[in-house]
Homo-oligomer: A and B are copies of this chain.
Amino acid sequence: MHLKAPEHQVAGHIAKDGKPGPLVDDKGRFFKPLQGDSRGEIEVKFYESFSSNTEVPDHIRRYFPVYHGTQAVEGSDGATMIVLENLLSKYSKPSVMDVKMGSRTWYPEASEEYIQKCLRKDARSTTVSSGFRISGFEVFDHRELSFWKPDRKLLNGIKVDGVRVALRKFVSSNTLSDTSSKPDSAFASSVYGGSNGILTQLLELKTWFENQTFYHFNSCSILIIYENEAINDNGARAQVKLVDFAHVHDGNGVIDHNFLGGLCSFINFVRDILQSVDESTEN
């Protein structure tokens, strides 16, 4: 089995200080190292529960990575990994954004220290103000014909206006590293809009979150993916996926109002961009 580091990781843990990072094979699978503490355990428990939960409808299941169990991986010091669908394996030039959902990333059962750490990060970022934060993104630059990724530290400091710019940059065709030019939002309609676009998918997820009381997706992310290769001929193949379930808890009959509120807010940001693009086309 030939494994290598994934090409387009925009957020989350990477190989560092001797700890293994995530790996991919050439058969469309993604290997995520099991985090040593309770987080790994919780994530496996979630995937086991979710993949056997017959009350999750199929049209919702497609927003989650397919789960292939766990496996000890040679060459990574025999570390146990969660084996998932590689969400990017069928993309040639993907643009990817990681959006951490919710207006809080902590939960009452956590330690006081953990809560305070999360709180500080939530208040500094747009988590508290907007109900989500952009954890990272990578865009294919159609001028430079290469991938562009903003500095993670710069991204951590952005406020609501910065989020608006980032969501436009993510669907723009003009040079992205040039901060003086306004993002042209050239792909907004084909990525965010349309019957297969991001907005439609987010609204479908919203309907589910208004009713589902199985899981509370604390500190979970939405990945947004689209294809840049031949985007004008073949369409954007835009996809929403939920990832990172190391802090998922039982819903105990209560909906995940924290995720849902953030999702509704994110939907409004996306809708605003689509609206302004429509207006500028009309003029």
Contacts and interface: CB of A to CB of B under 8 A. Distances in A.
A160 B128 contact: no
B160 A253 contact: yes
Given A108-B123, A160-B252, A103 B268 contact: no
Contact of A254 (B129, B253, B258): B129
Nearest to A119: B119
Given A103-B104, A104-B103, A130 B257 contact: yes
A264 B255 contact: yes
A213 B252 contact: no
A194 B272 CA distance: 34
Interface in A248-283: 252-255, 257-258, 260-262, 264-265, 268, 272
A131 B129 CA distance: 16
A211 interface: yes
A23 B104 CA distance: 39
B160 A268 contact: no
A210 interface: yes
Contacts of A258: 103, 131, 261
Given A104-B104, A108-B123, A260-B261, A211 B254 contact: no
A271 B108 CA distance: 26
Interface in A101-153: 103-104, 107-108, 119, 123, 128-131
Interface of A: 103-104, 107-108, 119, 123, 128-131, 160, 210-211, 213, 252-255, 257-258, 260-262, 264-265, 268, 272
28 contacts: A103-B103, A103-B104, A103-B258, A104-B104, A104-B128, A108-B123, A108-B128, A108-B129, A119-B119, A129-B254, A130-B257, A131-B258, A131-B261, A160-B252, A160-B253, A210-B268, A211-B268, A253-B272, A254-B265, A254-B268, A255-B264, A255-B268, A257-B262, A258-B261, A260-B260, A260-B261, A260-B264, A261-B262
Given A254-B268, A260-B264, A261-B262, 4 more contacts: A119-B119, A211-B268, A260-B260, A260-B261
